[in-house]
Structure 1
Amino acid sequence: MAHPPTPISPPLKDELDIVIPTIRNLDFLEMWRPFFQPYHLIIVQDGDPTKTIRVPDGFDYELYNRNDINRILGPKASCISFKDSACRCFGFLVSKKKYVFTIDDDCFVAKDPTGKEINALEQHIKNLLMPATPFFFNTLYDPFREGADFVRGYPFSFREGVPTAISHGLWLNIPDYDAPTQLVKPLERNTRYVDAVMTVPKGTLFPMCGMNLAFNKELIGPAMYFGLMGDGQPIGRYDDMWAGWCSKVICDHLSLGVKTGLPYIWHSKASNPFVNLKKEYKGIYWQEEIIPFFQSVVLPRECTTVQKCYLELAKQVKEKLGPVDPYFQKLGDAMVTWIEAWEELTAPPQANDQPTKTPIKEEPSPKPK
């Protein structure tokens, strides 16, 4: 009698967490169910902690709200942004897995040109498990992909590649534009599906988007800090950019790779360009100083770990960007606090580190007399 086929376990099922920042019910997960259900979700609830966030049945998840963040981190909770998607990096802190995939709640399953639904998570995993080639560009893009290879003239000494630390995915439909570009191109949509993955070359910075991103936590996790943004800060919407610049400089120093391209997701909702402009305008102004800073950063040879690199970067941020605006002094301090929190939470878990599965119910405020 024939035995039924053994079910194939999803790749990295027990080694990967999906981190989602949100302020609303997670109905978008229904569309992702075939791809996400086997994995563990870490949901970081932004905004009002008394609001109940509904998660569709059948998902394995932890839900953290602001009360949990304050309880678990204590005074160090000041480094986690409030009312900005930068709060997602708290999920990176508490994840106990080797790999993290993070996605926004307005992102849906995209289709390739043949109409087939794209399993974004599976493609990110492929990217992370294959080497990257930051030292010499291969004109056939990713030489480790099936049906591709290194082209003639590619040095053999570079063909082994280096470990891939970051996989940066793209999006169809609503482009990821800054507010001025949004304002002049309100109807523009991205319809171009480019079937390619490439390694971002060493010495080249790139604008990292956090809505479709995966990384190897063991290789680059401590650099994935999304900064101080949102409530109480003079800037927003630069959280993923900041993490991208810091992590790329550190990847270059430690000979790690960053891939960009596939997979695509479907970005469904355009944010308000006037609201965005208010959040971004200082960043648009400051980035003319920030980019040259990151282009010229030199990390000393004794910086042999991501943590050491990041603390050195924090020091240089305060020294060199501090004169641009006092905000960068504050950001440099928060970068140090983040590393302290990282060291604390990656130690063996304590009993009181468990999240509340249901949102904390607070006593109602007394009615005014």
Structure 2
Amino acid sequence: MAQLSSSVNPVPMLKDELDIVIPTIRNLDFLEMWRPFFEQYHLIIIQDGDPLQTIKVPKGFDYELYNRNDINRILGQKASCISSKDSACRFFGYLVSKKKYIYTIDDDCFVANDPSGNDIIVIEQHIMNLLTPSTPHFFNTLYDPYASGADFVRGYPFSMREGALTVVSHGLWLNMPDYDAPTQLVKPLERNSRYVDAVMTIPKGTLFPMCGMNLAFDRELIGPAMYFGLMGHGQPIGGYDDMWAGWCVKVICDHMGWGVKTGLPYVWHSKASCNRLENLEKEYNGIFWQEEAIPFFQSVALPNECTSVQQCYLELAKQVKEKLGKVDPYFIKLADGMVTWTEAWEELNTPMATQN
């Protein structure tokens, strides 16, 4: 294993304040590569698919493992809002975690190397992103001005240099890019080998396609909006779970005055689901529906009376039902799922529930 890279300024690793959430349908042998980085953290593993299948986790890790039977037992009728046979099921881990921060990763992602050959300490970079402010209201052309060796450029207003709270850190991928199925079909051999040593804040009013395979966020602040929708088994769509959450999250962050960062850190993505035709079938409806959904999120307005993430999310659910429900009845069902998710969040995350 290559030498571990380190930051100029030590970053608190928050081992008692961060959970790692992993959705899976297979044995988690991939954790062996991550052992030096993950072993100090608590893992929440969400088993997708057959609950009778035994998932093997390498020894030495501190973890909880939930399958569909556990989800039904814990949530009862509210379990209807949790996706089945889709990696979207990971958001159940956000629901049961009691930590301030979440890092979520797919089981086909591995440790990547920087251009010097050093292992990228993924969680360290995510924590650095989350613990330093964002600049959503004015773009700094040297990217993240809070990074080591950087600062605000000439002309950046001094009154805005305090920045905003960062609640989402969106990491990227080497090797297999996060392409949709049509792009995979026309570029089957394309790989990403470009390492860009940069982090930037996504500007206010700008949406982005959030990917859940290398993602960290402040669960206490934005967790109630990290609902990955109704996807997979029994639903007419798949592959849009993280993007749906990203659109909702970004609208709410803009309303609350919070920031979202994207860029470093990278993981090595090997992509377990390489059947491009199956991926196209899952994404087919979403490819058309996104042309309606994105303009909706670009124009949605949250009233000033919405002062909490839960209030914002319920208002979004209302508007999704009213406006996107005309596109397809699925969105009515999805809006109902958003409401049920909010109810489940409040039920499991009240002070009394936390103490239990």
Deviation at 1:200, TM superposition (A): 0.2
Counterpart position of 1:312: 315
Counterpart CA distance in 2 for 1:158 and 1:319 is: 37
Question: What secondary structure does 1:101 align onto?
Answer: strand
What displacement does 1:266 show? Answer: 0.1
Task: Output the CA distance in 2 between the equivalents of 1:141 and 1:190.
Answer: 21
Residue 109 of structure 2 is aligned to residue 115 of structure 1:
no
Unaligned runs of 5+ in 1: 1-7, 354-369
Partner residue of 2:336? 333
Alpha carbons 2:135, 2:259 under 8 Å: kept? yes
Equivalence map 1:145-156=2 (5 Å) = 145-156=147-158
For the 8 Å contact 1:222–1:339, the answer to whether it is kept is yes
Aligned to 1:95: 97
Which of these residues, 12, 16, 21, is aligned with residue 14 of structure 2?
12
Equivalent residue letter for 1:148: A
Name the CA distance, whole Å, in 1 between partners of 2:85 and 2:69: 14
User: What's the secondary structure of 1:331's corresponding residue?
Assistant: helix
Partner AA of 2:87 in structure 1: S
Alignment of 1:240-251 (within 5 A): 240-251=242-253
Aligned to 2:224: 222
After superposition, residues 1-369 of structure 1 pair within 5 angstroms as 11-269=13-271, 271-348=274-351
How many Å apart are 1:347 and its aligned residue?
2.0
The letter for the 2-side match of 1:300 is P
- Shift of residue 271, structure 1, vs aligned partner: 2.3
1:98 and 1:350 map into 2 onto residues whose CA distance is 15
Residues 102 and 210, structure 1, Cα contact 8 Å, conserved in 2 = yes
Report the TM-score, using the length of structure 1 for normalisation: 0.92
In 1, the alpha carbon distance for the partners of 2:353 and 2:152 equals 48
Amino acid at match of 1:88: R
Q: Deviations over 1:240-270 (max 9, x none)?
A: 0000000000000000000000000000125
Per the TM alignment, residue 207 of structure 1 is displaced from its structure 2 partner at its CA by: 0.3
The CA deviation at 1:218 is: 1.2
Contact 1:10 1:38 (C-alpha < 8 Å) held by counterparts: no
* Cα shift readout 1:26-73 (whole Å, capped 9, x = no counterpart): 000000000000000000000000000000000000000000000000
Q: Counterparts of 2:277 and 2:242 in 1: how far apart (Å)? A: 20
CA contact (8 A) 1:28 1:108 kept: yes
Normalised TM-score (structure 2): 0.95
Give structure 1 regions of 4+ aligned residues with deviation exceeding 4 angstroms.
Answer: 348-351
Instruction: Output the CA distance in 1 between the equivalents of 2:352 and 2:94.
Output: 15
Q: Deviation at 1:10?
A: 6.1
Distance in 1, Cα, partners of 2:336 & 2:317? 7
Residues 11 and 128 in structure 2, CA contact (< 8 A), matched pair in contact too: no
2-side partners of 1:245 and 1:221: how far apart?
A: 14
Q: Is the 8 A contact 2:211 2:242 kept in 1?
A: yes
1:19–1:100 Cα contact (<8 Å) kept: yes
**Distance (Å, rounded) in 1 between the aligned partners of 2:327 and 2:255:** 25
Deviation at 1:350, TM superposition (A): 5.7
Q: Secondary structure at the match of 2:266?
A: strand
Work out which of the two has the higher radius of gyration on C-alpha atoms and give 1 or 2.
1
Contact 2:229 2:245 in 1 (8 A): yes
Tell me the amino acid that sits aligned with residue 60 of structure 2.
G
- For residues 282-341 of structure 1, what are the alpha-carbon distances to aligned partners after superposition, in whole Å with 9 as ceiling and x for unaligned? 000011100000000000000000000000000000000000000000000000000000
Letter of the 1:150 counterpart? F
Letter in 2 for 1:89: F
- What amino acid maps onto 1:86 in structure 2? A
Letter in 2 for 1:250: I
| Aligned-partner Cα distance in 2 for 1:249–1:350 | 29
Q: Residues 11 and 124 of structure 2 are in contact (CA less than 8 Å); yes or no, is this contact kept in structure 1?
A: no
Q: In structure 2, what is the Cα distance between the partners aligned to 1:198 and 1:259?
A: 6
**In structure 1, how many angstroms separate the alpha carbons of the residues matched to 2:156 and 2:353?**
50
SS in structure 1 at match of 2:277: helix
The residue type equivalent to 1:178 in the other structure is D
Query: 8 Å contact 1:37–1:60 — kept in the other structure?
Result: yes
Q: What amino acid does structure 2 have at the position aligned with 1:66?
A: R
- Cα distance in 2 between the residues matched to 1:285 and 1:118: 37
State the number of aligned residues: 345
Deviation at 1:94, TM superposition (A): 0.1
**Is the Cα–Cα contact under 8 Å of residues 315 and 332 in structure 1 kept in the other structure?**
yes
Identity across the alignment (%)? 79
AA at the equivalent of 1:307: Q
Shift of 1:157: 1.1
**Which residue does the alignment assign to 1:358?**
none
SS at match of 2:345: helix
